[in-house]
Amino acid sequence: MAETSTASKRSMGTDIISSLPNSLLCHILSFLPTLYAVRTSILSRQWRHLWKDLQVFDFDDTEHNWSNERFASFIDAVLSQLRFPHIRNLSLSCQRGLDDDKVIDDAIDNAIGRWIRAAAGPCLQEMILYFNYEEFYPDYVDGIFTCASLVSLTLGGDLDLNDIPWVYLPLLKDLTLLLGVSVEHDFISGCPALENLYIDYYGSLYPKIHFLSPSLKRLSLFEVREFDDPIISEIQMDTPNLEYLRIFLTGSCVTTLVISDFPKIREACLEIAPLDEHVAWLPKLLQALSKTKILDFGWWTTECLVEAPNLHLPEFSCVHELSLCYSNFNSGVLIKLLCCCPKLQLLEIDINGVQYFRDQTPQSSWTQPASVPSCVMSHLNIFEFTSYSDSSEEREFLAYILQNALVLKRLIIYAKIGSFEKEEHILSEISVLPRGSSICQVEARILTRR
């Protein structure tokens, strides 16, 4: 009977969600844009005032067609009715409050000041601000940069923060600076607990880039290319506890790199344009990254290694995963890297570069190495080759690996051009090659990406 009663309630559409405690319902509402969280007040009497207990808010003026005045009135109404006045998380995106001259509307300007002052209290932990206004920097933003409780901060849009009078964020761990934000390098020194830093930037806004942070663990520099390639006179990194580094440097010319070692580094992803200045300091960067466990080279970085006149690589004694992207396969650089990675277990190659670095009919530069890299014989388990075109140099290298990789378990090849017939052809070619590993499984697939 009990089972029948339960089934009957379910068939009648019992409101299970409303039976949850209010604290859990508020937690669920906190994942919604605030506009939709407020709209749940029409569901029932229980839900009518539930949103007033929220401490997490997400306001975005691009989610509706409201006028600036209505958008401002909505936020004011929400903040004025809160039962708990201290905000924990605030996401505020204002991109439509411009007049005909592309200047911020006075009503929105004044309202933003009220909202930020209301949020910058003792409980604020996370703030996301995005302002799409040219050279926008009101004085009331200053209060954010001395918020003692702030743990995560994301800033985006045209924000010029070079003249901030004082920065001290003692608990800040995560800082994201999106495209258009410009800050002085002293900004970082005011964040003694910073662990994660992501910068999405124009090179013209950063003539010098300095990172001096003993607490920093993850650093991502992602440059967006401009019409005129700017010059960055110097990048300086003194981050001894760094564990993850990602550099995407494709437009600017960085003339000088000042760097210390990264003894705790675990993963490094590099995409660095092959300019003469970069080719000159890249070996210094690789030396600092010599303790990393995962190494990922984009095709421009690989081109830097190819163009280096006298390439001297450090020993990557801890690397167990190596990924290389090529514009044109070069086995010579790859063999040198394998010789420097004695514990390598996973090797990934991807031929996916821009065509102007590729000869129409590339000539094979394969040269039989004098000795087999130790990792190939003792550690290499998985070899994945993407965009395999079956060129003579690629075939020679593949045969070399198969013959000398004594513990290889899987060889996966993604053919770049062709059909199922091409796949069968590659498999038949590989099947007759001598193998050093009796347990190696070979897979050939057609590449589906465009």
Q: Let me know if residue 237 belongs to a domain.
A: no
How many domains, in total, are found in the chain?
A: 1
Tell me the average pLDDT across 154-183.
Answer: 85
Contact assessment for residue 47 and residue 30, using Cβ atoms and an 8 Å cutoff: no
Q: What is the mean pLDDT of the chain?
A: 85
Q: What was the pLDDT predicted at 336?
A: 94
Which own/partner contact pairs does 234-240 have at CB distance under 8 Å and 24+ positions apart? 234/208, 234/209, 234/210, 234/258, 235/208, 235/209, 235/210, 235/259, 236/208, 236/209, 236/210, 236/211, 236/212, 237/211, 238/211, 238/212, 238/213, 239/211, 239/212, 239/213, 239/214, 240/214, 240/264
- Judged against a pLDDT cut of 60, whether residue 6 lies above it is answered with no
Please give the residue that has the higher pLDDT: either 144 or 175: 175
Where is average pLDDT lowest: 108-112, 137-141, 239-243, 275-279?
Answer: 137-141
Tell me the average pLDDT across 230-238.
Answer: 84
Q: What was the pLDDT predicted at 104?
A: 56
Sign of CA dihedral 335, 337, 200, 173: positive
The C-alpha atoms of residue 431 and residue 398 are separated, in whole angstroms, by: 12
The C-alpha atoms of residue 223 and residue 219 are separated, in whole angstroms, by: 13
Q: Which residues contact 215 (CB under 8 A, 6 or more apart)?
A: 192, 193, 194, 195, 241
- Judged against a pLDDT cut of 90, whether residue 374 lies above it is answered with yes
Q: Let me know if residue 186 belongs to a domain.
A: no
Q: Let me know if residue 363 belongs to a domain.
A: no
Q: Containing domain of residue 331, as a range?
A: 320-354+370-449
Please give the residue that has the higher pLDDT: either 347 or 120: 347
Please give the residue that has the higher pLDDT: either 294 or 134: 294
Q: Let me know if residue 127 belongs to a domain.
A: no
Q: What was the pLDDT predicted at 443?
A: 85
Q: What was the pLDDT predicted at 188?
A: 87
Most confident of the ranges 50-64, 147-161, 314-328: 314-328
pLDDT over 70, % of the chain: 86
- Judged against a pLDDT cut of 80, whether residue 362 lies above it is answered with no
418 — pLDDT class (breaks 50, 70, 90)? low
- Judged against a pLDDT cut of 50, whether residue 358 lies above it is answered with no
The CA distances from residue 113 to 64, 77, 118, in Å, are: 22, 15, 8
Q: What was the pLDDT predicted at 228?
A: 66
Q: Let me know if residue 305 belongs to a domain.
A: no
Q: Let me know if residue 376 belongs to a domain.
A: yes
Cα 437 off chain centre by: 37
Contact assessment for residue 442 and residue 430, using Cβ atoms and an 8 Å cutoff: yes
Q: Let me know if residue 433 belongs to a domain.
A: yes
What is the pTM assigned to this prediction? 0.86
Tell me the average pLDDT across 256-280.
Answer: 93
Q: Let me know if residue 401 belongs to a domain.
A: yes
